[in-house]
Chains A and B, each alone.
Chain A
């Protein structure tokens, strides 16, 4: 995947397929610790120990349409390449908790990319699911909750192109305000 947001778009599908109705995505950037963490929590049907162990194996999948499953394996590979890790905790009927850490300044860490687009696409395509997106950096934090949005819009559909365009620019402006994945940060760490 070219950007971290594409990884997130991919991994969120796992939570959706696990029939979660609440998915929490947190991105935490810490420049002093030099970490870029992505945490995805869902309340889906979860996995048993065996399944969770197999989930990151590229030659394991629960699908029947093909016999490889690369989503988590690619993410793990990318994280480890920067000196980070991928941790997967899951409990049957409780949900799954995924934590991925990248070294913030690593040249191998993909950029965050169009996370606003990913959040909009995922939340409009799966309207029965509540999404919470939380982004924290050293300059501040931003939260986006689809439930709040839906309460405001009421009978207007969240997938209306005009609404989507607005939400996308709202997320982008807020992220810019807290210097999310700011290129200058990489230079700061180097110094």
Chain B
């Protein structure tokens, strides 16, 4: 029978990898790493926010870019989902709309790595008419 991964294996993994993880832990000072929030309410999930988030976690890890990727609620830009908010160290957060995996790749390559702006930035001071 095929062996199934279990918690015991996790124990071994965590011991062996301790040193490696320690280095990363120290870098986990939130002000020094890229912070990405993926909007994950009904609207975001229905538009594929999970795929975007999975992709970002994988891609940033593959390229060894230190980043914290987390979920957040609806930011109110339901029409432009999936949306993500990227905060570069010492920079104001920027919200991008229509972020599928292709767009996410572009954001990683251009904005996060080279600090070049890409299309699809949503104005953060956006207000709906009924609020005015």
Contacts and interface: CB of A to CB of B under 8 A. Distances in A.
Interface of A: 1, 6, 9-10, 13, 17, 63, 65-66, 69-71, 74, 114, 117-118, 121-122, 124-126, 148-149, 152-157, 159-164, 166-167, 169-170, 173-174, 177
Interface residues of B, number: 37
A173 B14 contact: no
Given A9-B45, A159-B68, A169-B5, A121 B14 contact: no
A110 to B, nearest CB: 12
A156 B25 contact: yes
Interface stretch (B74-82, B92-100, B107-115): B74-82
A121 B28 contact: no
B11 A152 contact: yes
A156 B50 contact: no
Contact of A125 (B2, B5, B6, B70): B70
Contacts of A66: 74, 76, 78
A157 B7 contact: no
Contacts of B5: 166, 169-170, 173-174
Given A159-B68, A161-B61, 18 more contacts: A6-B46, A6-B50, A66-B78, A69-B42, A118-B50, A121-B50, A122-B71, A149-B10, A152-B7, A153-B14, A156-B14, A156-B18, A160-B24, A166-B9, A170-B6, A170-B7, A173-B5, A174-B4
Given A66-B76, A71-B41, A153-B14, A117 B46 contact: no
Q: Find the residue from A9, A122, A169 having the highest chain B CB count within 10 A.
A: A9
A17 B73 contact: yes
Contact of B25 (A1, A63, A155, A170): A155
A152 B10 CA distance: 8
A10 B45 contact: yes
Identify whether the interface residues of A are mostly helix, strand, loop, or mixed.
helix
A148 B7 contact: yes
Interface in B48-69: 50, 53-54, 57-58, 60-61, 68
Contacts of B58: 161
B7 A6 contact: no
A164 B74 CA distance: 24
B73 to A, nearest CB: 7
Given A71-B42, A156-B21, A169-B5, A63 B50 contact: no
Nearest to B71: A125
A159 B70 CA distance: 9
A157 B76 CA distance: 30
A74 B74 contact: no
Q: Which 3 pairs from chain A and chain B are nearest by CB?
A: A65-B76, A161-B61, A170-B5
A10 to B, nearest CB: 5
A10 B76 contact: no
Contact of B42 (A74, A161, A166): A74
Nearest to B78: A66
22 contacts: A6-B50, A9-B50, A10-B41, A13-B73, A17-B73, A66-B78, A70-B42, A71-B41, A74-B42, A121-B53, A148-B7, A149-B7, A152-B7, A157-B21, A160-B21, A166-B9, A166-B10, A167-B10, A170-B9, A170-B10, A174-B4, A174-B5
